[in-house]
Amino acid sequence: MSDGGDHLFRAVGGTEYSWCRAVPGGTGITVLALLVSKQPDVAIVQNALRALQTSHPILNTKLHFDPATKTFSFLSHPTPNLRIQPFDLQSTAEILQGAENDAASPFQLILEHELNKNSWRNLDDASYADTDVFFASLYCLGETRWALMLRLHTGACDRAAAAALVRGLVRELAAEGAAGGAERRIEGSGEGCLGIEELIPKGKGDKPFWARGVDMLGYSLNSFRLSNAEFADATSPRLSRVVRLKLDLQDTERLLEGCKSREIKLCGALAAAGLIAARSSKNLPNNQKEKYGVVTLTDCRSILEPPLSSQHIGFYHSAISNTHDIFGGETLWELATRTYMAFANAKKSNKHFTDMSDLNFLMCKAIENPGLTPSSSLRTAFISVFEDSVIDQADEMHQDLCLEDYIGCASVHGVGPSIAVFDTIRDGCLDSAFVYPSPLHSREQMQELIDHMKRVLVDGTANVENGS
H, E, C per residue of 68-97: CCCEEEEEECCCCCCCEEEECHHHHHHHHH
Q: Is the pLDDT of residue 184 over 80?
A: no
Q: What is the pLDDT of residues 407-420, one digit of tens each?
A: 999 999 999 999 99
pTM of the full structure: 0.93
pLDDT for residue 124 is more than 70: no
The reported pLDDT for the residue numbered 43 is: 94
- Fill in the DSSP letter of residue 263: T
SS3 466: helix
Task: Specify the pLDDT at position 183.
Answer: 41
Cα(88)–Cα(183) distance, integer angstroms? 35
Which pLDDT does position 127 carry in this prediction?
57
pLDDT digits (tens, 9 = 90+) for 190-204: 577 899 999 999 988
Q: What is the pLDDT of residues 259-317, one digit of tens each?
A: 999 999 999 999 999 999 999 999 888 889 999 999 999 999 999 999 999 899 999 99
| Higher-pLDDT residue of 120, 181 | 120
Cα–Cα separations (whole angstroms), residue 302 to 86, 222, 268, 413: 38, 31, 21, 30
Measured CA angle at 239 (ends 238, 242), to 5 deg? 135
Q: What CATH number should be reported for the domain whose range is 7-189?
A: 3.30.559.10
Q: Render 3-24 in DSSP notation, one character per residue.
A: SSS-EEEEE--HHHHHHHHHGG
- The two most distant CA atoms of the chain are separated, in Å, by 67
List all residues 6 or more positions away from 315 whose beta carbon is below 8 Å from its beta carbon: 15, 16, 19, 154, 155, 156, 157, 158, 161, 195, 196
What is the distance of C-alpha 258 from the center of its chain? 25
Indicate the pLDDT class of residue 423, thresholds 50, 70 and 90.
Answer: very high
Q: Could you tell me if 457 and 424 are in contact, meaning their C-beta atoms sit under 8 angstroms apart?
A: no
**Torsion angle of C-alpha atoms 366, 370, 374, 378, degrees rounded to 10:** 60
* Selection from 397, 357, 363 nearest residue 378 by Cα: 363
Q: What are phi and psi of 216, to 5 degrees?
A: -60, -45
Query: Which pLDDT belongs to residue 179?
Result: 45
- CATH fold of 204-466: Chloramphenicol Acetyltransferase (3.30.559)
Query: What torsion, rounded to 10 degrees, do the Cα atoms 283, 284, 287, 292 define?
Result: -90
Which residues lie below 8 Å from residue 100, measured CB to CB, with a gap of 6+?
Answer: 109, 112, 241, 438, 443
DSSP H or E segment with residue 417: strand 416-426
| Percent of the chain's residues with pLDDT above 70 | 87
- Res 115 pLDDT > 60: yes
Rg (CA), the chain: 22
Question: Are 294 and 227 within 8 A, CB to CB?
Answer: no
45-90 tens-digit pLDDT:
999 999 999 999 999 999 999 888 889 999 999 999 899 999 999 9
pLDDT tens readout for residues 304-344: 999 999 899 999 999 999 999 999 989 999 999 999 999 99
CA atoms of 220 and 11, how far apart (whole Å): 29
Indicate the domain borders of the chain: 7-189, 204-466
Q: Which of 180-184, 231-235, 462-466 has the lowest mean pLDDT?
A: 180-184
Asked whether the predicted pLDDT for residue 215 surpasses 70, the reply is: no
Would strands 61-66 and 71-76 be described as parallel, antiparallel, or unpaired?
A: antiparallel
Written as one letter, the residue type at 277 is A
Is the omega angle on the peptide bond into residue 439 within 30 degrees of 0, that is, cis?
yes
How far apart are the C-alpha atoms of 203 and 28, rounded to whole Å?
30
In single-letter form, the type of residue at position 172 comes to: E
Angle at 146 between CA 32 and CA 411, to 5 degrees: 25
Question: What are residue 138's DSSP bridge partners?
Answer: 86, 148
| Element at 385 (helix H, strand E) | strand 379-386
| 33 Cβ contact partners less than 8 Å away, ≥ 6 residues apart | 107, 110, 111, 114, 147, 148, 149, 150, 405, 406, 407, 408
Residues 129-166: pLDDT tens digits? 799 999 999 999 999 999 999 999 999 999 999 999 99
Beta bridge partners of 397: none
For residues 431 and 248, give the distance between their C-alpha atoms in angstroms, rounded to a whole number.
Answer: 9
On average, the pLDDT of the chain sits at: 89
pLDDT at 153: 97
Q: How far is CA 248 from the centre of its chain?
A: 23
